[in-house]
Amino acid sequence: MERDEFLSKLGIGALAACMGCSLIACSKSGDANPSGGNNTTTPPVGTTFSIDLNSTLTSVGDSKVSNGIILVRIAAGNAASSFTAVQVACTHEGTAINYNNNQGLFICPLHGSEFSKSGALIQGPATTSLKQYTVAVTGSTLTVTV
């Protein structure tokens, strides 16, 4: 086998292998994945995480993603009502949503679904609301419970 023929066959084989990987990565089986695929599970019930409000979420509009949840400061002060926590995976195809502070909405960057601060569906293509989680504040520690 000549060098050119070998490299040509190697290139076709590599292309075929990459195509197979791409098709598997784009499959729609499994649970929603906030990174845009569909293989992440939602946090187990009873899961909690805490943050220090002295160093995290210090300004209105700041957000943090942890354990499949997006936590956002929606108002000044350290009361539980100053924060909201919803699932980060859009209910349409599992893409990670973002919080738009100017509009006061969670928006999916992939297809434009919009959700209120409490996760209620405002505009599709998603057809269901985001799950909202319980937020509690004790001193300067905020805890989210699933």
User: Over 50: is that where the pLDDT of 16 sits?
Assistant: no
CA distance 57 to 23: 38
Q: What is the pLDDT of residue 8?
A: 54
Q: What is the pLDDT of residue 39?
A: 33
Tell me the pLDDT tens digit for each residue of 55-100.
Answer: 999 999 999 998 889 999 999 999 999 999 999 999 998 889 999 9
Q: What is the pLDDT of residue 49?
A: 81
The pTM (predicted TM-score) of the whole model is: 0.67
CA distance 50 to 65: 12
Query: Average pLDDT of 115-131?
Result: 93
Please measure the distance between the N-terminal and C-terminal CA atoms of the chain and give it in whole angstroms: 61
CA distance 142 to 85: 11
User: Over 50: is that where the pLDDT of 9 sits?
Assistant: yes
Q: What is the pLDDT of residue 146?
A: 80
Tell me the pLDDT tens digit for each residue of 27-64.
Answer: 333 333 333 443 334 555 666 788 899 899 999 999 99
